[in-house]
């Protein structure tokens, strides 16, 4: 286990460039299992979660080249097992995305309970219901998720009981292998869902409605090899924007798309952050922070829940009160209670709402990174605090942020891995 030692109080300035979206990389890698032809993905984020998915594919018989780089070449000529390695599955919630492709290639899939952030609090019932609608049947195995489709997957009309991103992706991956027309209603609209649709189209699957709540998929019996360059990760970009704003620095974030950054900029401007977009560069500049009144997460194009911890930390340095309401997930804000020991004025109303009153001078302390996003938020708090802080385990945050220590150092942060 590694610890990030941070001496706060420095103004961070400079430029960082984001890599591809983590939440696009994992379903695209899973989609490579749908074909026995070679696939290529570029601008892949060099993060731990991507490496775990690559190891899962290797375990299933795939040939994966480029692990640890931004270009992956994946060839699943044969699939040697329908049961991914339990230990690896236990480290990655995204491993649930393997269910549909395994059903398509093997007629069966047996996946242990997925791990990742707060696994017990995030159900996959929407995923299972979609697969059952497409012809899979659940086998009672006593542990994990065991499904079979010995006669193949069949097209279906599906209504998702929630607009789950991974639930929509699970349905898309399975429908792509069900010859004929399927329809997914109440589908998620996030940019990474659209990226999966674009990748499936390069594999010969006809898709309409990507980016809307109704997606139609013309599945094919044989998928060809696909290729895709991943778009820049707007969640990572938003995280670096908060790092710049909370330390009073000017930071340029390259590799972003204006259409993705609008939702980030709108919320940062509520806190009086100066932010502009020039081409693929998103810039934040120093300005006196002001309480936003209320920030609420929402389904796309609402403010993403993955950034709620970071803007909550930013609000501790804003003049006035901000109510942060994450109605999508319970307990995501609980990790921020540690900041009370740093001097932050926080009132946790319930598992979904927190009131932040600022500005408050923060003091360094030992901090526990319990999940990827709150871990990055606590790093941002430590960068703005007086004195040393220790954030651990660092590996939790590195699941979602590539070359984290090196990038912080490039911006002028006084940090080191212990």
Catalytic residues: 117
Which tokens sit at 250?
Answer: 């000017």
With H, G, I as helix, E, B as strand and everything else as coil, classify residue 168.
Answer: helix
Angstrom distance (rounded) from CA 415 to CA 369: 16
Contact in structure between 364 and 8 (CB atoms under 8 Å): yes
Q: What are phi and psi of 293, to 5 degrees?
A: 80, -70
* Residue 90 burial by Cβ neighbours in a 10 Å radius (0-12, 13-18, 19+): middle
With H, G, I as helix, E, B as strand and everything else as coil, classify residue 136.
Answer: coil
Which tokens sit at 187?
Answer: 């589908």
Compute the C-alpha angle 196/197/199, nearest 5°. 65
Contact in structure between 108 and 102 (CB atoms under 8 Å): yes
Contact in structure between 337 and 296 (CB atoms under 8 Å): no
Contact in structure between 219 and 291 (CB atoms under 8 Å): no
Contact in structure between 283 and 254 (CB atoms under 8 Å): no
| Neighbouring residues of 208: CB distance < 8 A, sequence distance ≥ 6 | 215, 216
Which tokens sit at 334?
Answer: 């609980």
Cis peptide leading into residue 301 (ω within 30°): yes
- Please state whether beta strands 63-65 and 71-75 pair in parallel, antiparallel, or not at all (unpaired): antiparallel
Contact in structure between 363 and 344 (CB atoms under 8 Å): no
Compute the C-alpha angle 193/197/202, nearest 5°. 145
DSSP percent split of the chain into helix, strand, coil, nearest 5: 35, 25, 40
Contact in structure between 153 and 135 (CB atoms under 8 Å): yes
Of 318, 350, 321, which Cα lies nearest the Cα of 337? 350
Which tokens sit at 63?
Answer: 């040939």
């Amino acid at each position: 286990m590694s610890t990030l030692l941070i001496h706060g109080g420095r103004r961070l300035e400079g430029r960082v460039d984001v890599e591809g979206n983590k939440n696009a990389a994992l379903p695209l890698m899973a989609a490579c299992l749908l074909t026995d032809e070679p696939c290529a993905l570029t601008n892949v984020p060099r993060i731990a979660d991507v490496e775990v998915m690559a190891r899962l594919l290797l375990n299933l018989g795939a040939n994966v080249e480029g692990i640890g780089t931004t270009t992956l070449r994946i060839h699943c000529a044969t699939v040697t097992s329908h049961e991914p390695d339990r230990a690896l599955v236990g480290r990655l919630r995204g491993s649930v995305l393997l269910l549909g492709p395994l059903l398509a290639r093997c007629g069966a899939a047996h996946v242990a309970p997925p791990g990742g952030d707060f696994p017990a609090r995030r159900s996959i019932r929407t995923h299972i219901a979609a697969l059952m609608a497409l012809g899979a049947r659940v086998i009672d195995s006593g542990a994990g998720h065991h499904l079979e489709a010995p006669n193949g997957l069949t097209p279906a009309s599906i209504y998702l009981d929630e607009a789950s991103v991974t639930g929509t992706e699970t349905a898309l991956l399975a429908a792509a292998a069900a010859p004929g027309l399927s329809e997914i209603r109440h589908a998620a609209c996030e940019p990474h869902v659209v990226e999966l649709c674009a990748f499936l189209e390069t594999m010969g699957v006809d898709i309409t409605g990507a980016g809307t709540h109704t997606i139609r998929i013309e599945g094919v019996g044989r998928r060809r090899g696909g290729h895709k360059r991943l778009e820049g990760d707007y969640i990572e970009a938003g995280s670096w924007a908060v790092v710049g704003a909370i330390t009073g620095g000017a930071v340029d974030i390259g590799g972003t798309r204006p259409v993705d950054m609008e939702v980030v900029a709108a919320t940062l401007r509520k806190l009086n952050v100066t932010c502009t977009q020039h081409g693929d560069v998103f810039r934040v500049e120093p300005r006196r922070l002001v309480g936003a009144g209320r920030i609420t997460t929402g389904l796309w194009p609402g403010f993403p829940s993955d950034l709620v911890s970071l803007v909550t930390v930013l609000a501790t340095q804003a003049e006035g009160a901000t109510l942060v309401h994450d109605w999508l997930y319970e307990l995501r804000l609980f990790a921020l209670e540690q900041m009370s020991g740093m001097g932050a004025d926080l009132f946790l109303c319930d598992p979904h709402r927190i009131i932040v009153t600022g500005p408050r001078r923060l003091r360094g302390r030992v901090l526990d990174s319990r999940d990827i996003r709150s871990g990055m938020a606590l790093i941002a708090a430590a960068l703005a605090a007086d004195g040393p802080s220790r954030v651990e385990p660092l590996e939790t945050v590195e699941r979602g942020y590539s070359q984290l220590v090196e990038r912080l150092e490039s911006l002028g942060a006084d940090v080191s891995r212990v």
